[in-house]
Amino acid sequence: MVRIPPPLPIFKANNMEFTRYLLKSISWRVVGIIVTGSVALLVTGSLALAGSIVGIDATIKIIIFMVHEWLWERKERARNKSTQAILSTD
């Protein structure tokens, strides 16, 4: 039987598993890096310039994705609190 390891609990803040978001961000960015790098290389013709563009692009998008996930999680938690409050008044 295949055992799936538990998520990496590197650190948590406000009960959020940032490790999960970071790993999701990185895996998605690998796809983005390939696309961005290919386009940058075709447009610039320079491997060094394309590499710089990819590095900056990946860093910014990982951070933005993590903030995006955090905001969605906050929204979900607020909705769950509201639902629990409504159900507890009945």
Looking at mean pLDDT, say which of 4-13, 14-23, 31-40 comes out highest. 31-40
Residue 10 maps to a domain: no
- Sign of the CA dihedral 68, 9, 56, 29? negative
Six token digits for residue 36: 């961005």
Question: What confidence score (pLDDT) does residue 44 get?
Answer: 96
Instruction: Give the count of domains, the chain.
Output: 1
pLDDT in tens, 30-86: 888 999 999 999 999 999 999 999 999 988 988 898 888 888 888 888 887 777 766
> Is residue 11 in a domain?
no
Q: Indicate whether 57 belongs to any domain.
A: yes
pTM for the full model? 0.55
- The answer to the question of residue 9 being in a domain is no
Tell me if 54 sits within 8 A of 75, measured CB to CB: no
Domain around 61: 16-88
Cα atoms in the 13 Å half-sphere on the side-chain side of 70: 15
Model pLDDT, residue 51 = 95
